[in-house]
Amino acid sequence: MDLPPNNNLDAYWMPFTANRQFKAHPRMFVSAEGMYFKTSDGRDVLDGIAGLWCCNAGHKRPRIIEAVKNQVEELDYSPAFQMGHHKAFDLADRLARLMPGDLNHVFFTNSGSESVETALKMAIAYHRARGEGHRTRLIGREKGYHGVNFGGMSVGGMPANRKMFGSLVSGVDHLRHTHGIAGNEYSRGEPEHGAELADDLERLCQLHDPSTIAAVIVEPVAGSAGVIMPPKGYLKRLREICTKHGILLIFDEVITGFGRLGTPFAVNYFGVQPDLVTTAKGLTNGVVPMGAVFASDTIHDAFMTGPENMIEFFHGYTYSANPMACATALAALDTYEEEGLFTRGADLGDYWADAMHGLRGAPYVKDIRTMGLIAAIELDPIEGAPTKRAFNAFLKAYDKGLLIRTTGDIIALSPPLIIEKSHIDMAVETVRRVLEEIE
Ligand code: PMP
């Protein structure tokens, strides 16, 4: 068995992990380069999931390594409150230019969960700043995932993530999800059916009175709860209903941001303009924790009133715009741009989709969905043991040298954007063999 040098597997309580299963059969990475992790027993494992949807430029990227080294020698920390440093302003400017429309103001956080909390608080405080303090209600969606803090967990719609934790934040409701609509099986890109599910927002407006609703938050493509692509026209319709009722629309782009769909953001891909966007993960290529919330001019400007020496938004983190994180993000953006990685999902999209859909008919496969460099391979569950079949597939794939991620009985693939066709072939063949061998 693979033990760490101190022989103690017990002290580290691992997140979102079956700790007892892991500690009986540890899986350890010791290094990573390009498309591969190296395990402690010397095997190469193809990274089929970009770490956790975050290492979009792959691993051990020279520009990023150099940026981290240089930054720690130059300015290791700078207080986040009432002080600034150049790289924070450089990065915000660069991000604002990359994001379409008037989402020109960037608030830095340290994770996707913190970005979500920040956006939800910003939405409520924005309405209050305009004299609409009655708008406090937040709307999420069934099967949504918005991180693990109380606000994000409450607007999130994954039962397993909620049910241990009591009554959660009050004044929250959920739109119906768009998973499993008849006729949408084996979709490439946006599925055809289900745009009318956006009208569910009208139901909630009638139920609660729209003037009590601050914001709606959705993932343009839901990742963690099953890799669910939005039906054609769905997001546009949500936008229209939000606009009609003065409700803010928040896109949680923690996984879709930074090239995942073959465009810089899902905002580009779907051509729908939200009021706030949450990001993290690919912002720094996953190397240093960092998140960013993009706010529209209208939202930002509503705060910039009152006496000049007054704090406008009572919110922030000790590590907001941390210099190491800013330097890493700037180097990640350089890498993405130099290597054209934001369009890789479009360039390789057909090859990717053909390869993934080639798994149709493999054992247990009941649906396959693709978009950009994302794929979901949905399996029939083992009767009475949901999630077990996909988890077995994860273990078997790891043994065969491929890292995948599973949620429920769905296999998710979302590789680094540097992936080549040969890696795609290898990933598909490995999944096929895994499905042939598991029960
Ligand atoms: N929102 C979405 C859409 C996510 O996919 C995630 C992470 N998977 C989060 C929020 C939370 O991000 P973090 O784990 O960095 O807190």
Residue 428: its pLDDT value, please?
Answer: 98
Instruction: Write the pLDDT tens digit of every residue in 231-283.
Output: 999 999 999 999 999 999 999 999 999 999 999 999 999 999 999 999 999 99
Of the chain, the percentage scoring pLDDT greater than 90 comes to 97
Q: How far is the CA of 140 from the centre of ligand 1 (A)?
A: 14
Distance CA 262, CA 310 (A): 42
Instruction: Write the pLDDT tens digit of every residue in 137-160.
Output: 999 999 999 999 999 999 999 999
Annotate 110-139 with DSSP letters as a single string. Answer: SSHHHHHHHHHHHHHHHHHHTT-TT--EEE
Q: What is the DSSP letter of 188?
A: B
Amino acid 109 reads: T
The CATH architecture to which 19-57+342-437 belongs is: Alpha-Beta Complex (3.90)
pLDDT beyond 90 at 5: no
**Span 371-393, average pLDDT:** 97
Residue 130: its pLDDT value, please?
Answer: 97
Best mutation site among 118, 254, 258 for ligand 1, i.e. most ligand atoms within 8 A of its Cβ? 254
211 pLDDT band (50/70/90 cuts)?
A: very high
Pocket of ligand 1 (CB under 6 A): 111-113, 116, 145-147, 219, 223-224, 252, 254-255, 280
Atom 13 of ligand 1: nearest residue by CA position:
112
Q: How far is the CA of 88 from the centre of ligand 1 (A)?
A: 22
Indicate whether this complex's ipTM tops 0.90: yes
Residue 329: its pLDDT value, please?
Answer: 99
Q: How far is the CA of 359 from the centre of ligand 1 (A)?
A: 28
Atom 4 of ligand 1: nearest residue by CA position:
254
In the chain, where the domains are located? 19-57+342-437, 66-338
Q: Which of 196-200, 214-218, 221-225, 295-299 has the lowest mean pLDDT?
A: 221-225
Per-residue HEC secondary structure of 198-258 comes to HHHHHHHHHHHCHHHEEEEEECCCECCCCCECCCCCHHHHHHHHHHHHCCEEEEECCCCCC
Atom 1 of ligand 1: nearest residue by CA position:
146
Best mutation site among 113, 288, 414 for ligand 1, i.e. most ligand atoms within 8 A of its Cβ? 113
| Interstrand relation of 213-218 and 137-141 (parallel, antiparallel or unpaired) | parallel
Q: How far is the CA of 254 from the centre of ligand 1 (A)?
A: 6
Does the pTM surpass 0.95? The reply is yes
The CATH architecture to which 66-338 belongs is: 3-Layer(aba) Sandwich (3.40)
Token pair, residue 381, equals: 């569950």
| Interstrand relation of 410-413 and 374-379 (parallel, antiparallel or unpaired) | antiparallel
Distance of CA 226 to the CA centre of its chain: 12
Q: Are 369 and 226 in contact (CB under 8 A)?
A: no
Q: Are 417 and 52 in contact (CB under 8 A)?
A: no
Best mutation site among 49, 224, 414 for ligand 1, i.e. most ligand atoms within 8 A of its Cβ? 224
Token pair, residue 46, equals: 């193809």
Annotate 258-278 with DSSP letters as a single string. Answer: TTTTSSSSHHHHHT---SEEE
**Span 167-176, average pLDDT:** 97
Q: Which atom of ligand 1 lies nearest, measured to the CA of 255? A: 5
Nearest CA among 259, 322, 337 for reference residue 291 = 322
Residue partners of 385: CB distance under 8 A and separation at least 6 = none
**Span 388-404, average pLDDT:** 98
Distance CA 255, CA 179 (A): 18
**Token pair 């890696």 in the structure block, residue:** 423
Q: How distant, in Å, are the alpha carbons of 35, 115, 416, 418 from that of 44?
A: 10, 34, 15, 17
Distance CA 25, CA 9 (A): 11
What average pLDDT does the chain have? 97
